[in-house]
Amino acid sequence: MDQIMNPEWNLDILYKGLDDPAFEQDLKAFQENQEAFSGLIREAAALPEKERAEKILQLMEKGTLLFGRLMSFVGLNLAVDTENSEMMGAQARLMRLYAESAADQAAATKILGSLSDPEALAEESALIKEYLFLIKEAKKESAHLLSDDAEAMIAAMNQSAGSAWGDLQTFLTSTLKVDYDGKQVTLSEIRNLAYDKDPVVRKAAYEAELASYDKICDSVAFSLNHIKNQVNMLCGKRGYASALAKALEDSRMRSETLDAMLEAIREYLPVFRKYLRKKGQLLGHENGLPWYDLFAPLGEDSESYSLEEAKQLLTECFSTFTPEMAGMMKTAFENRWIDFYPRNGKSGGAFDSGLPGIPESRIMTNYDGTFGAVDTLAHELGHAFHDRQVDHQRILNQDYPMPVAETASTFNEIFLCHYVLESAGREKKLALLENDLREATQCIVDIYSRYLFESAVFEESKTRFLMAKDLNELMLKCQEEAYGDGLDPEFRNPGMWICKSHYYSDGLSFYNFPYAFGNLFATGLYSLYREQGDAFVENYKAMLAGTPVHTIEENGSMLGIDLTDKEFWRKSLQIIAEEIEEFCSL
C-alpha cells in the first residue's frame, strides 16, 4: 500500500487560496512595483547610466518574483482544474496587469541594451556584473522591439488573441469527453491506454481517440491558424527572418547547431524504421507498425508500480549518480511536490514548474503505474534537479533556453533505463530496451515529424486558412516523411496536431527540436559519464547551473563538446543505433 497518502500537490507554500491575505498583499505589492517601475522609466534619462541600470534591474527583480509567484499559483491550479472559473478570472486579471507594463518592459530592455560600456559598468557594480549576460541579450532583443506604445498594444491585444486561442486548445482538450467502452473518459485516460497490455484495448482506444477529435477539430484548427498567423505577422514587424529564426535567437542557439543535428537525424532515420518494423513483426504486423501499437509493451516488464515502489526505484537508482538527486526525489514524493493521477478537468501530459524564489518545484503527471509513467517521473524530476542548480542565481538569471531545458530530464531517462537494464533478465531487458527505444523514437523521429509539420503550418498559413482536413493531411505527410515504412500507412495519427499543446503558444514556437536536442545531447553526456565517473557529476552540475547565462554552444564547450559539428550528433545517434541492433537480436 502506498505511504504517499495524498497524491495531489500542495501549493500552500505559495498561497492557501485566492482569499489568502498574502495573495492580495503580493498583488498589491506587484501593482505598486509596476507604478514605481513606470516612474523610473520616465525619469531614467536624467540618471547616470550606472544608477539607471541598477534601479531598473532591482525593480525588475522584485516584479518578476511577485508576478512569478502569483502566476505560478494560478497556473498550477488551472493545470489540474481547467474549469475553475475563479482561477480563470484571476489569471485574466494578472495578465491584464502584466500587459499594462509591456511598454515599460520594452523601454527597460532598450535602456539596458543601449548601455554605452556594460563591461566597464560591471567593474563598478556587482549587480550589473551578475547581469552582464542578460544586458548583452537585451541589446540583441532591443533590435527587434517596436515602439513602447506598440509593444503595450500588442500585449493588451494578445489576451484576446494568441494567448486566448492557446487557452481554448487547452480547455477543449482537457474537457473533451471520449466515448469508450460504453462510458465517457478524458483524453488523457484514453491516450494512456496506448500502453495497455491488451492489443484489443490499444486499438479500440486509438479509434476512440481519433473519433473524439471530430468534436473539437474545427475549433482547434482556428486556434492553430490564428496563433501562427499572429506569430508570422509579429516576426515580420520585428525584423526576424522567420518564426524559426526567432525561436533560435530565443534559444541562444546558432542555426549551424540545428542544421548539424537535423542532418545527422535524417541520416539515421532508416535505423529507427528498422526498429519500428521489427517491433511490428514481433506484434504480428507485416506492413510496418500501426500507430496504436507504437507504445505497446514488450517482454515481461508490464508490472504495475505503486507510488511507493516508484519512489523507491527512483531514489535507489539516482543515489548511484549523486545523493543530491536522490534526496530531492524523496522530498518531492513525501512533501507533495507532485500531482500524480489523471482526473476530469486536469490537463494531459506532464510538466515541471520551479517556484519563483522558493527552492522547490511542482510536478504534474497523469500517472498510470507503468514503467513508462515512472520514466516520466524521472524526466520531470530531472527538470526539478536542473531548477535546483540555478536556484543560487539571481531571479532574472534563472530562465534557461528551450534546448537545454530538455537535457537534465532526458539524461535522467537514459540513466534510469541503463540502471534497470544492468540487473534485468532477457525478457525484462527486452521490455526495458524497447521502452528506451520507444522514447528515443518519440524524441527524434516523432519530434522530427512535428518540426516538419510546424514549419509547414507557418509557411502555408501565410497564404491560406488551414482547415482541420488540411491539417490532418499535412500531419500524415509529415509522419510519412519522418517514419517512412516504419509505420503502417493505414494506421497513422492525423490528429496529432490537436492534442499537442506545444503548437499553441504565441510566445514559444518550435517547441519540438529542443526535445531531439535534449535526447541526443543527454545521450552524449551519458557516454561522458560512463567514461569519467564521479568526476563528471560536478562538471554536469556546473554546466546546468550556467545554462541561464551562456549560449547553447557555450554550454557544450563547458564539457568539451562542439555542438556545430555533425560528428557529435552522429556519435549520439550511433549509440541508439547499437541499442536497436541489440533489440533486434533479442
For strands 361-364 and 183-185, give the pairing. Answer: unpaired
Residue 508 placed within a domain? no
- Report pLDDT for 2: 47
Name the domain boundary from 144, 160, 176: 160
- In 248-258, which positions are buried (b, 16+ CB within 10 angstroms) versus exposed (e)? bbbbbbbeebb
Q: For residue 191, with 0-12 CB atoms within 10 Å meaning exposed, 13-18 middle and 19 or more buried, which class applies?
A: buried
Q: Which residues pair with 339 in a beta bridge?
A: 364
Q: Which are the contacts of 37, defined by CB distance < 8 A and separation ≥ 6?
A: 56, 59, 60, 63, 101, 104, 108
Percent of the chain with pLDDT over 90: 86
The pLDDT tens digits for 381-428 are: 999 999 999 999 999 999 999 899 989 999 999 999 889 888 877 777
User: How high is the pLDDT of residue 1?
Assistant: 39
Least reliable range by pLDDT among 36-45, 203-212, 293-302, 315-324: 293-302
> Which amino acid would we find at residue 86?
E
pLDDT score recorded for residue 159: 84
CB 341 within 8 A of CB 11: no
pLDDT at 286 over 90: yes
In this predicted structure, what is the pLDDT of residue 4? 62
What number of residues does the chain have?
586
86: its cell numbers: 475563479
Q: Which of 140, 160, 180 is where one domain is finished?
A: 160
Task: Report whether pLDDT(436) > 90.
Answer: no
Classify 487 as helix, strand or coil.
strand
- Does some domain include residue 465? no
Domain boundary residue among 160, 176, 203? 160
* Long-range pairs for 90-97: beta carbons < 8 A, 24 or more residues apart: 90/18, 92/159, 94/67, 94/70, 95/159, 95/163, 96/156, 96/159, 97/30, 97/31, 97/34
Cell of 174: 482537457
Residue 398 counted as domain residue: yes
Structural domain includes residue 319: yes
Question: 436 or 456, which is more confident?
Answer: 456
Residue 572 lies in a domain: no
pLDDT digits (tens, 9 = 90+) for 61-78: 999 999 999 999 999 999
pTM of the entire predicted model: 0.85
Q: Yes or no: say if 390 and 544 are a contact pair by the CB < 8 Å rule.
A: yes
pLDDT one-digit tens code per residue, 388-399: 999 999 999 999
Q: Which residue in this structure is represented by grid cell 545527422?
A: 264
Give a yes or no: residue 225 inside a domain.
Answer: no
Quick one: cell of 496?
496529432
Rounded distance, CA 363 to CA 337, Å?
6
Paired with 180 in beta bridges are: 183
Using CA atoms, how far residue 98 sits from 61, 67, 155, 398, in Å, is: 14, 8, 8, 19
DSSP assignment string, 542-569 = HHHHHGGGS-HHHHHHTTT--TT-HHHH
- Beta strand pairing call for 338-339 and 361-364: parallel
Contact 392, 100 (CB under 8 A): no
Number of structural domains the chain divides into: 2
* CA trace torsion 454, 458, 461, 463 (10° rounding): -140
Question: 3-class DSSP state for residue 286?
Answer: coil
Q: What is the span of the domain harbouring residue 125? A: 21-160
Q: What is the pLDDT of residues 460-492, one digit of tens each?
A: 999 999 999 999 999 999 999 999 999 999 999
Between the two ends of the chain, the Cα-to-Cα distance in Å is 35
Instruction: Express as a percent the part of the chain with pLDDT over 70.
Output: 99
In a domain, 190, yes or no: no
Domain CATH code at residue 112: 1.20.140.70
CA 324 vs CA 132, 242, 272, 376, 383: distances in Å: 30, 42, 35, 19, 14
User: Position 371: which residue type?
Assistant: F
Q: Would residue 236 count as lying in a domain?
A: no
What average pLDDT does range 171-184 have in this prediction?
94
Residue 302, pLDDT above cutoff 70:
no
Output DSSP code: residue 444: I
